[in-house]
Structure 1
């Protein structure tokens, strides 16, 4: 990564920060389980099933971001497109689940990461591999 231009390093940092933030946010929901039960009026089993579903989806997105970021660092051009497609799917998922402060932070991280991923310097850096 030392030879990567600054926009690539920033994009990588943002993608990894997004993955970590997803995991911390998901873990935090488990600590708020009692409050979720009270606010939703749902049974303990319903809340547990909901949290399990959110955890599975969160871990899948975090793993995809981590793996695709690694592929991006290996200068795989398809990884840039795949990161963007996964991110758009993730944004839609966040809008379906509901808007919260954590989801707004996640949306912001994703949007800024996409911008840096598609900057000209990143495209040139990935293209250099094909020229060699």
Structure 2
């Protein structure tokens, strides 16, 4: 069995970085809850509800990225498709939330991960399993 191509290793690193970054960004919002309340003029309960919703969604995205990345490493082509689909949904979610530095970084990481996931070396690496 051939060694994992560099593009696949980079893609895997980017997908896992996205998962971790999303969790850390969401955790950071909990520490800034006073600023969130001040900016939005929401009650404490509304801010808590908003942050809980963001946390649940962030955990779901992170879990999906982690599981699908692991599956991609097992050379399952459908995992590449699923990763890209989850990423597009995630990008739409980010655009729905609004502009911030953290969201911009996440969008850039997602774009880079998709590019590396669909490089020809990654496609050939996944296809080798089907040929055996």
Both proteins in one fold, TM over 0.5 = yes
Give 1:89's aligned residue. Answer: 89
Q: Does 1:77 align with 2:72?
A: no
Q: Does 1:107 align with 2:111?
A: no
Could you state the TM-score of these two structures normalised by the residue count of structure 1? 0.98
Please list every run of 5 or more consecutive structure 2 residues that lacks an aligned counterpart in the other structure.
Answer: none
Give 2:128's aligned residue. Answer: 128
Alpha-carbon RMSD across the aligned residues, in angstroms, is: 0.8
Residue aligned with 2:3, SS? coil
Instruction: Measure the CA separation in 2 of the matches of 1:4 and 1:100.
Output: 35
Give 1:16's aligned residue. Answer: 16
Instruction: Measure the CA separation in 2 of the matches of 1:90 and 1:48.
Output: 22
- Which whole-Å deviations, capped at 9, do the CAs of 1:66-98 have from their partners, x for residues lacking one? 000000000000000000000000000000011
Residue aligned with 2:75, SS? coil
Residue aligned with 2:99, SS? coil
Count the aligned residue pairs: 131
Please list every run of 5 or more consecutive structure 1 residues that lacks an aligned counterpart in the other structure.
Answer: none
Runs ≥4 in structure 1, deviation > 6 angstroms? none
- Which whole-Å deviations, capped at 9, do the CAs of 1:47-66 have from their partners, x for residues lacking one? 00000000000000000000
Could you state the TM-score of these two structures normalised by the residue count of structure 2? 0.98
Residue aligned with 1:55, SS? helix
